[in-house]
């Protein structure tokens, strides 16, 4: 998902910079304090934490996160000696204090999976000193402390309380990648465009493009199921911060163009912004309504009212990215891939915000990637120009630039997605239909752990009927639009699965910000 040849611009106060960016995904908590305490707020020594790989006693930060001394040494030896281990079993060997020696392959995979960074092992073997990521560790400590304070507020977004809820994953530590990176020429810079109404304060914020997709990838299975018990608890704080970030850019809302498929709509005070209608609303009328009644129209309006306006989402994402960059040092900028992850992350926050209750959260956790794909498709159909990809931030990238410079997987994903965009443009997908597709994807009665299967089925049926009636009433000349739209869903699913697989591979390579909602979703779904 990195975007070679991509130089989007973000408004101030981001600092223009043309070099490689440190992919540091740190907290948004403002300037660091001078406290560098090794104790938790409750006075408990931090060293009592257990190693995320084997559970042994943590001895400090090593190669990106808190680990024990032995895993530190193991990781160092493995990277320095360029070890390639093979697991004799199914790459799911138990990893604990007593068994960590038994399978170096699984141990190393787990090191990578929890976020240890190969890049932090020095190629020149220089001893001593600090690498340039020292400040990142410090901010990680602060964030850990902040998390402890926030533990009381972990209610609304918790999906699952696991026994090992990814507790010791690196908190957004993300040292500079040693992967091949390249700085873009000014030509490439101009291959991306700001939306004309993006805001007058927009300064050139070029980003590097990391061409590191086609490295050797580890097996695509998902080892260490115990890691995939995740919660959203770590995100309540950032989420709560979101409204504050509005003020940063809210005067610069991009005014998105209104196409024939007019996607602008007015929100009524009845619905809380960005929140879907309640389940009772969705089920308030029997699915066997009289077809000629306006019930489906009203129903669709209700669904639409729950949708977040694009300009608001755009503002949120921009504000988040701005703040992220503002909190970084000069050599510490997000790289392109990390920025894309951040965009996806913020869109996911929107989805979780949108989802009403636990059932919905569960459903979202099973189809988040499809919803993201749908969201992207809708944006392309509405705002996207023929040869460009339109990002949630309003920025545009030439498809040809991506295709020419990306690796096989990414090119394939972009091509497939653009094909789908073309088909949906031909179908003239409108916002009502998009929302219906979104609900049809969400309300999937096949999700195993869903208790109220009947409720999910009924909602699905109702949305299905609304979509059918809408297409018949609004596009009478296009007799099979309903069927054509439904036929696109398997491709949406297929693309989303490929994206998940791609993201997981990047995650194993340490490229994904570990403390992101994106990462948690990735793990939760495969749990």
Partner DNA sequence: CTAGCCTTGATG
Partner DNA sequence: CATCAAGGCTAG
Q: Which of 3, 25, 113, 120 binds DNA (CB under 7 A)?
A: 120
Residues 6+ apart with CB under 8 A from 423: 488
Verify binding: residue 127, DNA, rule CB under 7 A: yes
Running DSSP on this structure, what letter comes out for residue 445?
Answer: T
Helices 453-474/431-442 angle, 10° precision: 160
Could you count the other beta carbons within 10 Å of the beta carbon of residue 176? 21
Residues 405-444 that bind DNA (CB under 7 A): none
Residue from 443, 472, 485 nearest 291 by CA: 472
Q: Which of 43, 82, 129, 196 binds DNA (CB under 7 A)?
A: 129
* Residue 288 burial class via C-beta count within 10 angstroms: exposed 0-12, middle 13-18, buried 19 and up: exposed
Verify binding: residue 69, DNA, rule CB under 7 A: yes
Q: How far is the CB of 49 from DNA (least distance, A)?
A: 12
Query: ω into residue 13 within 30 of 0, thus cis?
Result: yes
Verify binding: residue 125, DNA, rule CB under 7 A: yes
Distance CA 527, CA 525 (A): 5
Distance CA 351, CA 252 (A): 23
Verify binding: residue 68, DNA, rule CB under 7 A: yes
First to last CA, the chain: 23
Q: How far is the CB of 75 from DNA (least distance, A)?
A: 8
Q: Which of 2, 11, 28, 61 binds DNA (CB under 7 A)?
A: 61
Verify binding: residue 299, DNA, rule CB under 7 A: no
Residue from 261, 274, 435 nearest 347 by CA: 274
Verify binding: residue 100, DNA, rule CB under 7 A: yes
Q: How far is the CB of 283 from DNA (least distance, A)?
A: 53
CA dihedral 192, 194, 195, 200 (to 10 degrees): -170
- Candidates 120-128, 315-323, 445-453, 504-512; binding stretch for DNA (CB under 7 A): 120-128
Verify binding: residue 166, DNA, rule CB under 7 A: no
* Per-residue binder mask for DNA (CB under 7 A), 15-44, x = binder: -------------------x-x-x------
Verify binding: residue 267, DNA, rule CB under 7 A: no
Q: How far is the CB of 77 from DNA (least distance, A)?
A: 5
User: For residues 126 and 408, which CB has a smaller minimum distance to DNA in the complex?
Assistant: 126
CA distances 314 to 10, 125, 273, 364, Å, are: 11, 44, 14, 21
SS3 per residue for 202-225? EECCCCCEECCCCCCCCCCCCCCH
* Sign of CA pseudo-dihedral 165, 167, 168, 174: positive
Verify binding: residue 11, DNA, rule CB under 7 A: no
Q: How far is the CB of 388 from DNA (least distance, A)?
A: 40
Q: How far is the CB of 91 from DNA (least distance, A)?
A: 16
User: For residues 128 and 476, which CB has a smaller minimum distance to DNA in the complex?
Assistant: 128
Verify binding: residue 80, DNA, rule CB under 7 A: yes
Verify binding: residue 84, DNA, rule CB under 7 A: no
The answer on whether 253 is annotated among ligand-binding residues is no
User: For residues 123 and 408, which CB has a smaller minimum distance to DNA in the complex?
Assistant: 123
- Candidates 70-78, 290-298, 312-320, 341-349; binding stretch for DNA (CB under 7 A): 70-78
User: For residues 13 and 73, which CB has a smaller minimum distance to DNA in the complex?
Assistant: 73
Verify binding: residue 471, DNA, rule CB under 7 A: no
**Strand segments (E) across 64-104:** 65-68
Verify binding: residue 132, DNA, rule CB under 7 A: yes
Distance CA 453, CA 277 (A): 19
- Note whether 76 and 107 are within 8 A (CB): no
Beta bridge partners of 50: 57
- Candidates 98-106, 185-193, 287-295, 480-488; binding stretch for DNA (CB under 7 A): 98-106
User: For residues 101 and 291, which CB has a smaller minimum distance to DNA in the complex?
Assistant: 101
Collapsed DSSP state (helix, strand, coil) of residue 11: strand
The answer on whether 274 is annotated among ligand-binding residues is no
Distance CA 383, CA 350 (A): 19
- Candidates 8-16, 22-30, 53-61, 412-420; binding stretch for DNA (CB under 7 A): 53-61
Number of residues that bind DNA (CB under 7 A): 38
The answer on whether 502 is annotated among ligand-binding residues is yes
Collapsed DSSP state (helix, strand, coil) of residue 390: strand
CA distances 347 to 15, 173, 222, 434, 454, Å, are: 24, 22, 25, 16, 29
| Binding site per annotation, positions | 407-410, 502
Residues making contact with DNA (CB under 7 A) = 34, 36, 38, 56, 60-64, 68-71, 73-74, 76-77, 80-81, 83, 100-101, 104, 120-122, 125-135, 137
| Binding site per annotation, positions for a phospholipid derivative | 407-410, 502
């Amino acid at each position: 998902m990195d975007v070679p040849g991509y130089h989007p611009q973000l408004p101030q106060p981001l600092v223009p910079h043309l070099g490689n960016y440190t992919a540091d995904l740190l907290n948004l908590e403002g300037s660091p304090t001078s406290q560098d305490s090794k104790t938790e707020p409750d006075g408990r020594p931090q060293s009592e934490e257990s190693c995320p790989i084997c559970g042994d006693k943590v001895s400090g930060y090593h190669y990106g996160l808190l680990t024990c001394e032995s895993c530190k040494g193991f990781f160092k030896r493995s990277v320095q000696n360029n070890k390639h281990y093979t697991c004799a079993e199914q790459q799911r060997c138990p990893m604990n204090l007593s068994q960590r020696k038994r399978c170096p392959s699984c141990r190393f995979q787990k090191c990578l999976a929890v976020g240890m960074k190969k890049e932090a092992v020095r190629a020149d073997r220089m001893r001593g000193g600090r690498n340039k990521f020292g400040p990142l560790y410090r901010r990680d400590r602060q964030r850990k402390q902040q998390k402890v304070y926030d533990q009381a507020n972990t209610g609304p977004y918790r999906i699952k309380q696991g026994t090992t809820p990814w507790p010791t994953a690196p908190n957004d530590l993300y040292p500079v990648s040693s992967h091949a990176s390249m700085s873009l020429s000014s030509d490439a810079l101009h291959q991306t465009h700001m939306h004309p109404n993006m805001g007058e304060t927009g300064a050139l914020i070029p980003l590097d493009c990391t061409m590191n997709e086609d490295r050797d990838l580890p097996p695509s299975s998902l080892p260490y199921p115990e890691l995939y018990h995740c919660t959203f608890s770590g995100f309540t704080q950032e989420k709560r911060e979101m409204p504050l970030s509005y003020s940063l850019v809210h005067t610069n809302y991009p005014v998105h163009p209104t196409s024939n498929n007019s996607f602008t709509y007015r929100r009524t005070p009845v619905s809380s912004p960005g929140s879907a209608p309640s389940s009772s609303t969705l089920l308030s009328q029997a699915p066997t309504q009289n077809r000629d009644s306006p019930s489906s129209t009203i129903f669709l309006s209700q669904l639409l009212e729950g949708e977040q306006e694009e300009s608001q989402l755009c503002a949120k994402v921009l504000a988040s990215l701005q703040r992220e960059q503002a909190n970084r040092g000069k050599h510490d900028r997000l790289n392109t891939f990390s920025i894309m992850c951040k965009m996806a992350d913020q869109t996911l926050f929107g989805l979780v915000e949108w989802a009403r209750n636990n059932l919905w959260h569960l459903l979202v956790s099973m189809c988040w990637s499809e919803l993201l794909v749908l969201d992207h498709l809708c944006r392309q159909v509405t705002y996207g120009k023929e040869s460009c990809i339109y990002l949630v931030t309003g920025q545009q990238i030439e498809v040809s630039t991506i295709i020419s410079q990306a690796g096989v997987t990414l090119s394939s994903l972009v091509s497939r997605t653009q094909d789908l965009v073309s088909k949906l443009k031909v179908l003239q997908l409108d916002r009502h239909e998009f929302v219906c597709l979104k609900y049809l994807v969400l309300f999937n009665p096949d999700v195993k752990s869903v208790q109220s299967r009947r409720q999910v089925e009924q909602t699905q049926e109702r949305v299905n009927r609304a979509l059918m009636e809408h297409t018949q009433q609004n596009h009478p000349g296009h007799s099979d639009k309903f069927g054509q739209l439904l036929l696109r869903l398997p491709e949406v699913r297929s693309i989303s699965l490929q994206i998940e697989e791609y993201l997981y591979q990047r995650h194993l390579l340490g490229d994904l910000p570990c403390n992101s909602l994106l990462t948690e979703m990735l793990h939760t779904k495969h749990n």
